[in-house]
Amino acid sequence: MDLQRLKEEQEIILNQIDNGIALFNNSNHLILFNQKLPEIWGLLPEWLKIKPHRDDIFAEIVVQGYWSTEQCQQLQNCLLKIKTESQLLYIEQSDSICLKVDCTLVSDGGHLLTFRDVSIYQRSQANLNAELRRLRFLLGLNERLQYSDSLREIAQFALNYLVEVMNAAFGDVKVINGEGKNRQAGPISNQITSQFIATYGELAVAEMEGLLKQGIPYGQGLLWEVVESGKPMYVEDYAHQPNSIPGFRHPAIGQLGIFPIPAIDGRIIGVLTLESRNLQKLQETDQKDMLFAACRSLGVAIERAQSQERLRQINEELERSSQLKSEFLASMSHELRTPLNSILGFSDLLQRQISDPLSDRQVNQVRLIQKSGQHLLQLINDILDLSKIESGKTELSLELINIHEVCKDCLKMIQPRADKKRLALSLELDYRISTVYLDQRRVRQIIINLLSNAVKFTPEGGKVKLSGRLAYGSQIQGDYRPDCSPINSSTPYLCLEVKDSGIGIPEDRWEILFRPFQQIDSSLSRKHEGTGLGLALTKRLAELHGGTISLDSQVSKGSTFCVWLPLTEMRHELIVNSASESSSEVSSDSVNEEILETEKSIRILIVEDQPYNQLLISQVLELEGYEVELISDGQTMLDTINSLN
């Protein structure tokens, strides 16, 4: 009675267990099982109670279609291997149930088998792995998108993953080019698997690739329906679709997924095509989400690539325009200089009053002509200089110069203009530095520009001060500079400073000061002559020397402009090396001047095709006592020289 009750309690306990349990004796007959075991395969409990042989049970499971013969044999092999430790085996049944089978050897030589349904766990693990792989793909795609400039590389990376994970035999990415009905879908990249080639043949593949390279015109093919609707399309039998492209209608091509690639604003700018062996898989929610995310990333890549291409084209056009502008300015400057030189030359001759005296009124008119011509010539020179610098055609002519003498000469040149406004000019020089290795003409240009601006914008009775001193990079770092170039605090600089008590400049207008053709107030251009090129040109000239320009100003109190020209060790070495060269060049020039003086001939041959210049040059030379012969072209000049020989 106690034994019977014990068996009943044992049966109750076993039936509460959610795993199928089977105990076989050493002769492989079933001697114990729980209620879950027959439920797994739909076996009759009555049949199991007659203690069938293990082989008969496995054979019945195979007959029922749950297991294959191979799976049954795997379990048999697993049981044969059991000696001391348990054996573990996973069996995926035909009804999609995955069983975890634990096999244990019991004391009498029999076996205890536990069958656990782990389908939910396995699916969850598979989904988790798929999601992890999807996130890695999207992260990798976005990283490629961020760091790669190659649209083809990004598209190929996406196809490598999508073709594999979707079990696709073929995939491609096309981009939409053009507008309206003139649009075409051109390929960025495609991937063709060996499976695709084996199925369709190399000739078919070559034909398809040829069609893709040509591009697909608007209205041809199903992809344009996707472009217009903005929704994906799943095609069961592409070969028999009326709107399919004839070159792609191969009998074996069946299931296609065509997905739109959107721009940020929602426009469809491309399509992704996958030829899949499992169309249903393309339509699964997780896969669709991944495909849509990939298409959005590709859309960003396409837009960025197109923007970069447009930017490249714009830059090329700007470069061509800049080159044409420079050529135009150079040409126009030459064309304008020629008549201007004649105007200035004749006005100078008139002011000499050698042949016929002029009235005071005529003298004043001639002076106005000359002044206006000189001003116009200076503007032309500034425009041409700036154009040459911006086009990179300006080279410095470095030489050893006395900066004290240069500053004094510049101040003398500005003095007449300052006197007219009763301005007090002053000069302060640092005698620790007197000779420097710079381009003398450009340094003069810098100083004259700064002094001219100071005189121009300082009211009558004001002050203008020019200073030249030795300074270091650490003294620049707190100043406002338009170029923001890096400064080495230990580098020595020649600081050329012009300080005035003029009208001053509002701080919010400092930035535009150094832009060509701009002034801080349009009304100033009516009060003061100029094109707004002076400071822009000064800035460029300072940068040519490797230097910079700084500014400090207060409205109604005045402005201070400083040009900083670096005095590097290289320049000091050049000073030593060039000292002998400079002296030899000077002596050579002196010899040439002496030769010109001693060999001044009575007759001078002039080759000039401009009639005004011919007249001007001949009159100037005749005033100096020369006999002039005019020739208007080069060939006549050669003939004349040959006849003289």
Secondary structure string (H, E, C) spanning 573-630: HHHHHHHHHHHHHHHHHHHHHHHHHHCCCCEEEEECCCHHHHHHHHHHHHHCCCEEEE
Q: Which pTM value belongs to this model?
A: 0.47
CA atoms within 13 Å, Cβ hemisphere of 65 = 3
C-alpha span between 51 and 44 (Å, rounded): 12
C-alpha span between 256 and 282 (Å, rounded): 9
C-alpha span between 230 and 262 (Å, rounded): 8
Task: Using the CB atoms, write b or e for 573-612: b if 16+ within 10 Å.
Answer: ebbeebeeeeeeeeeeeeeeeeeeeeeeeeebebebeeee
Q: Would you state the pLDDT for residue 324?
A: 76
C-alpha span between 318 and 326 (Å, rounded): 12
In this predicted model, what pLDDT tens digit does every residue of 544-569 receive, in sequence order? 999 999 999 999 899 999 999 998 64
Please, which pLDDT band fits residue 29 given cuts at 50, 70 and 90?
Answer: very high
Are the beta carbons of 378 and 372 closer than 8 angstroms? no
Number of H helices, E strands in the chain: 20, 20
C-alpha span between 93 and 58 (Å, rounded): 13
Q: What percent of the chain has pLDDT over 90?
A: 23
The sheet with strand 558-566 has its strands ordered as 424-429, 463-472, 492-500, 558-566, 548-554
Q: Would you state the pLDDT for residue 126?
A: 82
Lowest-confidence region among 3-12, 388-397, 527-536, 620-629: 527-536
At residue 180, what is the residue type? G
Please, which pLDDT band fits residue 580 given cuts at 50, 70 and 90?
Answer: very low
Q: Would you state the pLDDT for residue 235?
A: 83
C-alpha span between 46 and 118 (Å, rounded): 27
What's the Cα-to-Cα distance from 110 to each of 11, 29, 103, 347, 434, rounded to whole Å? Answer: 20, 9, 10, 129, 110
Question: Does the structure show a pLDDT above 60 at 540?
Answer: yes
45 vs 350, residue with greater confidence:
45
Q: Would you state the pLDDT for residue 251?
A: 52
Q: Would you state the pLDDT for residue 592?
A: 40
- For the segment(s) 315-392, the CATH number from 1.10.287, 1.10.12, 1.10.3470, 1.25.40 is 1.10.287
Question: Does the structure show a pLDDT above 60 at 600?
Answer: no
Please, which pLDDT band fits residue 267 given cuts at 50, 70 and 90?
Answer: very high
- Report domain 2-117's class: alpha beta
At residue 128, what is the residue type? L
Are the beta carbons of 268 and 180 closer than 8 angstroms? no
Handedness of CA 307, 308, 312, 315 (dihedral sign): positive
CA atoms within 13 Å, Cβ hemisphere of 577 = 7
Q: How many CB atoms lie within 10 A of CB 617?
A: 19
Helix (H, G, I), strand (E, B) or coil at 442: helix
Are the beta carbons of 299 and 271 closer than 8 angstroms? no
Rg (CA), the chain: 47
Question: Does the structure show a pLDDT above 50 at 588?
Answer: no
Question: Does the structure show a pLDDT above 60 at 387?
Answer: yes
Helices 285-352, 119-147: crossing angle, 10 deg rounding: 10
- Token pair 């100003």 is found at 553
Take residue 626 and report the two structure tokens written for it: 């020369």
Q: Would you state the pLDDT for residue 594?
A: 42
C-alpha span between 317 and 328 (Å, rounded): 16
- Report domain 148-283's class: alpha beta
469 vs 181, residue with greater confidence:
469
Q: Exposed, middle or buried by CB within 10 Å (0-12, 13-18, 19+), for 470? A: middle
Please, which pLDDT band fits residue 473 given cuts at 50, 70 and 90?
Answer: confident
Q: Would you state the pLDDT for residue 204?
A: 59
Task: Using the CB atoms, write b or e for 494-503: b if 16+ within 10 Å.
Answer: bbbbbbbbbb
The full DSSP string for 510-534 is TGGGGSTT--S-HHHHHHS---S-H
Take residue 329 and report the two structure tokens written for it: 């300015």
Please, which pLDDT band fits residue 187 given cuts at 50, 70 and 90?
Answer: confident
Q: Would you state the pLDDT for residue 581?
A: 38
The sheet with strand 184-192 has its strands ordered as 216-217, 184-192, 168-177, 268-276, 256-262, 233-235
The full DSSP string for 268-318 is EEEEEEEEES-HHHHTSHHHHHHHHHHHHHHHHHHHHHHHHHHHHHHHHHH
Q: Exposed, middle or buried by CB within 10 Å (0-12, 13-18, 19+), for 262? A: buried
Are the beta carbons of 448 and 413 closer than 8 angstroms? yes
Mean pLDDT across 145-171: 79
In this predicted model, what pLDDT tens digit does every residue of 41-54 receive, in sequence order? 888 989 998 999 99
Task: Using the CB atoms, write b or e for 322-332: b if 16+ within 10 Å.
Answer: eeeebeebbee
Mean pLDDT across 236-259: 68
Pairing of the two strands 424-429 and 463-472: parallel
Question: Does the structure show a pLDDT above 60 at 500?
Answer: yes
Are the beta carbons of 561 and 551 closer than 8 angstroms? yes
Q: Would you state the pLDDT for residue 522?
A: 52
C-alpha span between 270 and 274 (Å, rounded): 14
What's the Cα-to-Cα distance from 36 to each of 18, 57, 117, rounded to whole Å? Answer: 7, 15, 11
Average pLDDT for the chain? 80
DSSP H helices, 353-439, are: 360-390, 403-420
The alpha carbon of 91 is separated from its chain's Cα centroid by a whole number of angstroms, namely: 56
Taking CB atoms within 8 Å and a gap of at least 24, the contacts of 406-415 are 406/440, 406/443, 406/444, 406/447, 407/447, 407/466, 407/468, 407/496, 409/444, 410/444, 410/447, 410/448, 410/451, 410/466, 411/451, 411/466, 413/448, 414/448, 414/451, 414/452, 414/455
C-alpha span between 498 and 462 (Å, rounded): 13
Q: Would you state the pLDDT for residue 532?
A: 64
Residue boundaries of the structural domains of the chain: 2-117, 148-283, 315-392, 395-567, 600-644
Question: Does the structure show a pLDDT above 90 at 404?
Answer: yes
Q: What percent of the chain has pLDDT over 70?
A: 81
User: How open is the CA angle 601-603-605, to the nearest 5 degrees?
Assistant: 115
Q: Would you state the pLDDT for residue 355?
A: 64
Are the beta carbons of 336 and 379 closer than 8 angstroms? no
Are the beta carbons of 215 and 263 closer than 8 angstroms? no
Q: Would you state the pLDDT for residue 205?
A: 61
- Token pair 């573990």 is found at 88
C-alpha span between 410 and 450 (Å, rounded): 10
Q: Would you state the pLDDT for residue 591?
A: 33
C-alpha span between 306 and 304 (Å, rounded): 5
The full DSSP string for 404-428 is HHHHHHHHHHHHHHHHHTT-EEEEE
Q: Would you state the pLDDT for residue 215?
A: 74
Question: Does the structure show a pLDDT above 80 at 228?
Answer: yes
Q: Would you state the pLDDT for residue 438?
A: 93
**Domain 315-392 shares a fold with domain 395-567:** no
Please, which pLDDT band fits residue 502 given cuts at 50, 70 and 90?
Answer: very high
Take residue 295 and report the two structure tokens written for it: 């298409």
In this predicted model, what pLDDT tens digit does every residue of 405-459 receive, in sequence order? 999 999 998 998 899 999 999 999 998 888 999 999 899 999 999 999 999 999 9
- Report domain 395-567's class: alpha beta
